[in-house]
Amino acid sequence: MDALQSKITNARARRDSSLPEEFKVDLAAFGLGVLPMEPIPRPTKPDDPTMEEPTTIYPSDNVMDLPRKVLPKEDLRITELSTPELLDQLASGKLSAVRCLQAFIRRAVLAQQVVNCVTDIFQNFALRTAQECDEYLAREGKVKGPLHGLPISLKDQFNVAGQPTVMGYAAYIDVERPSHSVITQLLLSVGAVPFCHTNVPQTLMRGETDNHVFGRTLNPRNRSFTPGGSSGGEGALVAFKGSPLGVGTDIGGSVRIPAAFNGLWGFRPSGHRIPYAGSVNSMEGQESIASVIGPLSTTFEGCLAFVRGILAARPWTLDPAAVAIPFDEQLFELRKLDLKVSYQSEHHAAKSSEATRLCFGIMWDNGIMSPHPPITRALKEAKAKLEKAGHTVIDWVNYEPQRASKLIGQLYQADGGIDIARVAEAGGEPLMTSVVVSPLDKEPTVYEGWQLNKTKVAYQKEFLDHWQATKGQTGTGRPIDAVLAPVAPWASCPHDMNVHIAYTNLWNLVDRPAITFPVTNVQPEVDRAIPEVAGEVVGAPYDAQQWAGMPVNLQLVGHRLLDEELLGIAKVVKDAGVSL
């Protein structure tokens, strides 16, 4: 066995040993086999830095009901509770943090056995943390913080002191992290209980979750489909309810795509609202399109609790890049919408009902690839429900999408792909297929990088003007309050097919907060035909039966740095019955 194979074998053994033996299940007793693992790759050859296409075939079954057949009754009850219900029971002492943690670890172990989503469970650390929460509540008679006792799963980018953060790279297998990431520090300070790391794609720059070290993560609703990426381990685990709240990152859709493909809520904040300091990343130092941290949850309230909790901990005191903006309750309650209205007097604005009526711009397609029929149906259903609730919905035409897509690719590769190539080379591993960032023949100069940033700022200004120009169409005196759009052209897709991320990475380019939410499921009897499309827009391959039952999500996009306002608008959408 060569050095690379030996390192990977040891990393997988270390992961497997972190799963408590008493929680492992004999899958054969439930008619399930052990997951196939794609072969450990051959070492990189100097003249061949990439790998062959994978050929492993995964089962197409839905394993979402397995916990009801396997878990003890009390563990099932605990893990089926929503985040608000868990926080209430933990705060009252009805449920101890230790007991809550044990239930979720058991379910996370089961998730790992069937969808391969976990890279490490740090049980001893988590049990100590949970016990401290219980002792604090007993001693002080109050909670440690707004996320008191809540188990939290972390994407394998966030350091927990003394634990490895592998991030899908062979080079990082034996790198022990001496200190917490700032996000880990803050979660602990508000009472949360981080308990595991979840799988990511090699480089992080893929809409799939697969790496040479830990293998491929599967979608629990159809294991032959992808859970998305790059926070796909989080998406699969939270969907399986092996974690009540997951923390991911988003540089091109990496929170929203896994949330959508798994039927979850997922929030991409504006840049620098949630602290990134001390986290591991690809292309560190690249700020042209900044990666951001965001939550994944089965509920809107879970995402809201995360944002409120982290901002309550004053992240700007630990991360110099974090903006010093506390959570604004007035923005969340939409009490500041009237400040955007063109009105003749303050009295008129205070009395006007226009301040509470919203206008949404609906993006039927992104001008590059048309969405599958169930996505279009979800948009139509959402429009009808919003209009029934008294809101206005107008058409939104994406602004110069081909230009934006080209610019995004150039910014992602502004270093010529050197960063990812060097890390892969250091680990002796080949680069996987479908990596968004690939090494270039010529390394761009610093001047060329500056020109790219200049072009980006120009596009952002034009995009802002395009948004503001809707003011004359809304009937509210304001431009559109949010864009309602697809997250992807499909409701998940077979493995290695998810290469079109232009529905999400546009919003990273212009740094807009965005939240995704479940609307419906694919129904083959009504979602049959691919509509004809014209011009440069192309249709995606589609088979209604193959996609049957998969969750269909949409996303809402708001104004930069007005994250609380977008969350408030999302609540309006939820209350209108748009989301499941």
Confidence class for position 306, pLDDT limits 50, 70, 90? very high
**252 in a known ligand binding site:** yes
Q: Which residues contact 465 (CB under 8 A, 6 or more apart)?
A: none
β-pairing verdict for 482-486 and 359-362: parallel
Is 183 annotated among the ligand-binding residues? no
pTM assigned to the model: 0.95
Overall size of the chain counted in residues: 580
pLDDT tens digits for 512-525? 999 999 999 999 99
Q: What count of other Cβ atoms lies within 10 Å of the Cβ of residue 222?
A: 25
Query: Does the pLDDT of residue 62 top 70, yes or no?
Result: yes
> What's the burial of 540, exposed, middle or buried (CB within 10 Å: 0-12/13-18/19+)?
middle
* pLDDT value of residue 239: 99
Q: What is the pLDDT of residue 37?
A: 81
Nearest to 313 by CA among 195, 464, 186, 431: 186
- Is residue 254 annotated as involved in ligand binding? yes
Concerning whether 254 is annotated as a catalytic residue, the answer is yes
pLDDT on residue 350? 41
Is 355's pLDDT higher than 90? no
Yes or no: say if 154 and 177 are a contact pair by the CB < 8 Å rule.
Answer: no
pLDDT category of residue 46 using cuts at 50, 70 and 90: low
Which of 96, 181, 230, 279 is catalytic? The answer is: 230
Does 405 carry a binding-site annotation?
A: no
- Mean pLDDT, the chain, whole residue set: 93
Respond yes or no: is residue 69 known to be catalytic.
Answer: no
Domains of the chain by start residue, with CATH:
3-39+53-317 (3.90.1300.10), 338-396+470-510+521-560 (no CATH)
**Mean pLDDT on 407-435:** 91
Mean pLDDT confidence for 436-440: 68
pLDDT at residue 433 in the model: 73
pLDDT digits (tens, 9 = 90+) for 63-106: 999 999 999 999 999 999 999 999 999 999 999 999 999 999 99
Choice between 37 and 222, residue whose per-residue pLDDT is larger: 222
Statement: residue 255 has pLDDT above 80: yes
pLDDT digits (tens, 9 = 90+) for 448-471: 999 999 999 999 999 999 999 999
Catalytic residue from among 18, 243, 254, 279: 254
In the chain, the N- to C-terminal Cα span, in Å, equals: 50
Mean pLDDT for 177-199 is 99
Torsion sign across C-alpha atoms 93, 99, 101, 107: negative
Average pLDDT, integer, range 247-266: 99
Residue 411 has pLDDT above 70, yes or no: yes
Q: What is the pLDDT of residues 157-181, one digit of tens each?
A: 999 999 999 999 999 999 989 999 9
- Range 242-265 average pLDDT: 99
Q: Is 155 a catalytic residue?
A: yes
To the nearest whole percent, how much of the chain has pLDDT over 70? 91
554-563 burial string, b = 16+ CB within 10 Å, else e?
A: bbbbbbebbb
Cis? peptide before 230, omega within 30° of 0: yes
Q: What pLDDT, on a 0 to 100 scale, did the predictor assign at position 342?
A: 43
